[in-house]
Chains A and B, each alone.
Chain A
Amino acid sequence: MTRPRLHACAIAAFLVAEWPRYVWGWRAACLAAAMAILAAAAGSFLFRRDSRLLSVTAASLGCGLATGTLWAMFQPAHPSAPPGVRAVIAGKVQSVKSVRGRTEIMLAVRRDGRDGHPCHYEAMVFVEGSSHVEAGQWLEASGTFVVADRAPSALDVLSPLQRFEGRVRALDVPPDVGERITSWMDSSMERMSDARGGELIHLALSMVFGDTQGDLPSSVSSDFLAAGVTHLLVASGSNVGFALDMAAIPWGALLGRAWKRGRRAAYGVYALCVVWGFALLCGLQLAVLRAACGASYAIAASMCGRRVHGYTVLWASAGMAGVLDPGDLLTPSMLLSFYAAFAVCEAEALWRRMHPKRMDEGRESSSRSWLVRAGMPLVRGLVTTAVVDAYMVPVLWWMFRQWTPYAAISTAILEPSVEMLLPVLVLWSVSAAMARAWPVAFLIWCAHGMSDVGCGAMSAVLWFVHRVASWRGSLQSLAPLSLEGACAMVSGLVLIAHARVPSRRR
């Protein structure tokens, strides 16, 4: 068995033991571990009695069980009070919704009981009447846990959600560093903007740091949803890559020259600081956390002088996320993030098969017409986004029963455009911040100029998204799809992508 496959099996075995132990308890963990050992034994037999697979799997299962037990001891994933008993919980508001005269608050519970001991689970808090609560706020809820009156869905099983009824009160918890910095940038940019700037500024910041505070108007969010480009409003792996690209500029110009020896290690440490600093700025959203884990693994590998493939990075990021935050490992957001990264790897692999690199590519590219050179990235973007969207169809269908047929087109056009715009947005925020800190006439003039450019660019993005969203059939509702159906569809797509035409026998 190859080393990448052993690596993948080790991480899978670790997660198989750790997550059920933490979320479901000993019985589920032991059952999962037994099944994993059986599968590893069968695999070892198939792979010419390779005993490494069995030993690696056993060791990983042991590590997973130990890690899951430690998490369960210090930060349980279940409420301490049974249903019907009065309880007090506290946590951060994820989303708020008003339905039929009552408010439904999705709470990431981090404190449980009167003593406020640490915990890690999600609860839906039902509050009678309207309650002025906003995302990102810390709340304390007092009341009782209740049992759901419906059978749990597959997602409920993967990511248990507790139901809680009672009253809430706001807690005075100071915002974290990321929130404070983005709020400061928001207000600085708003000072330098003209009319209707607020919405565009929120949009610009959402594209860089994600819309964690729910600042965007619902009409804008709806347009992005219908155009199939909601991922642009969420900080993800591409944003982490962008942060690294931006950070490489001062490194190359200033910092890198200071290190004559150990330059690779120094840059690795610098890049790790940038990645995790950016993740902190984004409020450690799950997609960014996964991307930061993957980037850290790739950076560490490059510090050791090794190249790693996308799938290896994906597995490594799953393992790191499992160690850092097992409670959120199988939440819908994290699942979508992992699956989207897998789809991107698949699309890239398919593109490489279609257009393998050749040694004389550089020589040929100079002789190509400018039309081909300009059009090839667009074609590549269109093909890869179409493949990614094709892979996303089963999962989005299962989770949301939605399909956005124009997503590939809008993503292929918008994503490179937004990548080009990101430096402008950074300059916009930096100039606004500098003008606020040192209100010199020149800086203010620069900030106003950048504000005009940034607002214009964001207006163009908004216009395009609105146009696509208003096309006929831009957001399709789909018939219900079960988890089994979704898995079958994904398997079918993977089969199409990797099935080989039988070779001719002589």
Chain B
Amino acid sequence: MENEIRETGCPHRAAHAEGDWRGDTWEEVFQSGWEACGAASPGWTGAQSAAESWRGQKRLPIVARLRAWSRYARVVLLIGAAVGAAWFGSRQVTTGASANESVSSVPASSGLHGELAGTNADSGAAATLQVDVHGDVRRPGLVTLQEGARVRDAVRAAGGFVHAADAEDVNQAALVWDGEEIDIPAATTPSSASQQADAQGTEPLAAPARDAEAESQAALTSSASREVRTRKSAVSSGQKIDINTADVETLETLPGVGPKRAAAIVAYRQAHGPFPDLESLRHVKGIGAKTLAKWRDLITFGGVGQASDAGHREP
């Protein structure tokens, strides 16, 4: 400490050097010491002195130079250590996947929290699930994943995308479920679909249709059955959703519908029977005129109200 004071001529800096673990640096020196140092020797910073020494204007001892640069180096080292460790951890997953082509080591759940709340601490034996991946992947077929896997892991287990552009239209972060069928569309499909929509003169619907397209592509990754997947594809391809038979996942493909609102629709339908027309949907909490206007061309009412394609009763 005394050496440091003599060396720097600044007791606060010495306290800083000394106090990281023993003194007050943790709470106080950062706050007061450096300000006082600045007052005692205005304009001095470690970076400046290091830079000056590099320029040869002022020679500092090598330890002092090291100290001057250590504040930058420690940040770089800290970030580098964390990133390196995480990269190593992700490589372990990749290595495991390549060792067993059909198995991808992804977040596994164990313990109550891990199993139930989506956390994965302290894993033990993990449940596996099987999904069928086909479409624009290198090795389409059945892949086995661990519980908690995401679409990215399924695609990786299936050999990866055939074209890099395929990844743009797939929500790779979505969780996959046991028995799911994942269809990776070719990269050209969405644009051709939207061009087709434009060509048909459906400009007012183009934006929601594209949204529905994107949403349905994403939803493909989280649906639990072929039927649901087909329905979600149907939304984007212009087919309509039967509001009286659709399940929660299918309803979520409608614009502005999340899990809560979809559940509310289903709950109301079960409590009060099928919806006869568009206006009857306003009884569901959270659905207003604006929302119904968006759905007008996306939903039907089956045979209940003999509704027209536009969601209105025929005259």
* Contact B17–A399 (Cβ < 8 Å): no
**Total interface residues in chain B, CB < 8 Å:** 105
* 24 A–B pairs (Cβ distance < 8 Å), ordered by A: A134-B259, A150-B112, A155-B121, A190-B288, A198-B256, A198-B257, A199-B256, A213-B260, A216-B258, A356-B34, A358-B43, A360-B42, A386-B79, A394-B82, A400-B120, A402-B107, A403-B90, A405-B86, A469-B171, A470-B172, A475-B150, A480-B122, A493-B81, A500-B70
Given A311-B27, A359-B38, A470-B167, are A223 and B173 neighbors across the interface (CB < 8 Å)? yes
Q: A93-112: which have CB < 8 Å to B?
A: 95, 97, 99-100, 104, 106
Q: B139-180: which have CB < 8 Å to A?
A: 148-150, 152-153, 167-168, 171-174, 177-178
Contact of A152 among B43, B105, B111, B261 (CB under 8 A): B111
Shortest Cβ distance from B109 into chain A, in angstroms? 9
Cα-based distance from A197 to B291 in the complex (angstroms): 9
Given A124-B116, A398-B121, are A505 and B256 neighbors across the interface (CB < 8 Å)? no
Give chain A residues whose Cβ lies under 8 Å from the Cβ of B219: 219
Contact of A312 among B27, B37, B89, B124 (CB under 8 A): B27
Give chain B residues whose Cβ lies under 8 Å from the Cβ of A441: none
A sample of 10 more A-B contacts (CB under 8 A), given A191-B290, A332-B119, is A97-B116, A161-B117, A187-B288, A215-B260, A309-B27, A356-B37, A383-B75, A479-B96, A499-B74, A503-B3
Judge if A51 is at the interface, Cβ distance under 8 Å.
Answer: no
* Contact B258–A218 (Cβ < 8 Å): yes
Cα-based distance from A133 to B270 in the complex (angstroms): 13
Interface-lining segment among A346-354, A368-376, A421-429: A346-354
Cα-based distance from A195 to B39 in the complex (angstroms): 58
Q: Mark B254-268, 1 if CB is under 8 A from A, else 0.
A: 011111110110110
Cα-based distance from A349 to B219 in the complex (angstroms): 43
Contact of B122 among A472, A482, A502 (CB under 8 A): A482
Shortest Cβ distance from A74 into chain B, in angstroms? 26
* Contact B71–A353 (Cβ < 8 Å): yes
Cα-based distance from A356 to B45 in the complex (angstroms): 7
* Contact B259–A218 (Cβ < 8 Å): yes
Give chain A residues whose Cβ lies under 8 Å from the Cβ of B290: 190-191, 193-195, 197-198
Cα-based distance from A194 to B124 in the complex (angstroms): 49
Cα-based distance from A194 to B108 in the complex (angstroms): 42
Give chain B residues whose Cβ lies under 8 Å from the Cβ of A218: 174, 222, 252, 258-259
Give chain B residues whose Cβ lies under 8 Å from the Cβ of A219: 171, 174, 215, 218-219
Judge if A132 is at the interface, Cβ distance under 8 Å.
Answer: yes
Cα-based distance from A307 to B83 in the complex (angstroms): 35
Cα-based distance from A135 to B6 in the complex (angstroms): 64
**Which single residue of chain A is at the shortest CB-CB distance from B61?**
A504
Q: A472-506: which have CB < 8 Å to B?
A: 472, 474-483, 489, 492-493, 496-506
Give chain A residues whose Cβ lies under 8 Å from the Cβ of B312: none
* Contact B79–A390 (Cβ < 8 Å): yes
Cα-based distance from A134 to B73 in the complex (angstroms): 49
* Contact A400–B260 (Cβ < 8 Å): no
Cα-based distance from A219 to B273 in the complex (angstroms): 29
Interface-lining segment among B18-26, B191-199, B233-241, B299-307: B18-26
Contact of A492 among B81, B222, B288 (CB under 8 A): B81
Shortest Cβ distance from A153 into chain B, in angstroms? 3
Shortest Cβ distance from A122 into chain B, in angstroms? 9
* Contact A191–B288 (Cβ < 8 Å): yes
Cα-based distance from A124 to B26 in the complex (angstroms): 41
Cα-based distance from A2 to B107 in the complex (angstroms): 44
Give chain A residues whose Cβ lies under 8 Å from the Cβ of B111: 148, 150-153, 155-156
Given A2-B24, A217-B257, A386-B79, are A163 and B123 neighbors across the interface (CB < 8 Å)? no
* Contact B256–A153 (Cβ < 8 Å): no
Judge if A138 is at the interface, Cβ distance under 8 Å.
Answer: no
Most chain A CB within a 10 A radius of its CB, from B34, B43, B108, B263? B263
Judge if B72 is at the interface, Cβ distance under 8 Å.
Answer: yes
**Which single residue of chain A is at the shortest CB-CB distance from B168?**
A470
Cα-based distance from A499 to B67 in the complex (angstroms): 11
